[in-house]
Amino acid sequence: MTTTRLDLPIGGMSCAACASRIEKGLQSLPGVEEAQVNFATEKATLHYDPSVVTLEQICKKVEDLGYQVIREKVTIPIGGMHCASCAANVERALRRVQGVIEAQVNFGTETATVEYFPTQVEITTLRQA
């Protein structure tokens, strides 16, 4: 099993018991090898297998427990695309960037809408992908 490390910013915790609840919930997901939640830093650190569990499933688990996953969405102008295949290639490249939850590229408007974890990736990195 190949694991990926993820630092997940979490909001809405009011005590160490909240962190423990999230930790147990994340550890119950198939594909999550290890999960540690720190109340003081408001962050979960996970080691997971992306071929078994997706970022969306991880986020949904946290949200189903009553907490928020801190994420941002940005629209980036993309120039130089000549066809829908170019847009698909850009989309795949963005989705491979660590910290990107979802990426959608629109060939017609020449933009990419990217949902990401701001603690994991900077906008400049997204622009370079």
Q: pLDDT tens across 18-75, in order? A: 999 999 999 999 999 999 999 999 999 999 999 999 988 999 999 999 999 999 999 9
Both tokens of 46, joined, read 């996970």
3-state secondary structure of 65: coil
Domain that holds residue 51: 4-69
- Looking at the 3D structure of the chain, how many domains does it have? 2
**Domain termination site, one of 40, 69, 98:** 69
Identify whether residues 9 and 44 lie together within a single domain: yes
42 shares its domain with 23: yes
Same domain, 89 and 119: yes
Residue 93, CA distances (Å) to 61, 79, 102, 128 in order: 26, 15, 11, 10
pLDDT band with cut points at 50, 70 and 90 for residue 1: low
| Region 114-127 average pLDDT | 88
Specify whether 64 is located in the same domain as 79: no
Entry pTM: 0.76
User: How do residues 83-93 score in pLDDT, each as one tens digit?
Assistant: 999 999 999 99
Q: Same domain, yes or no, for 80 and 58?
A: no
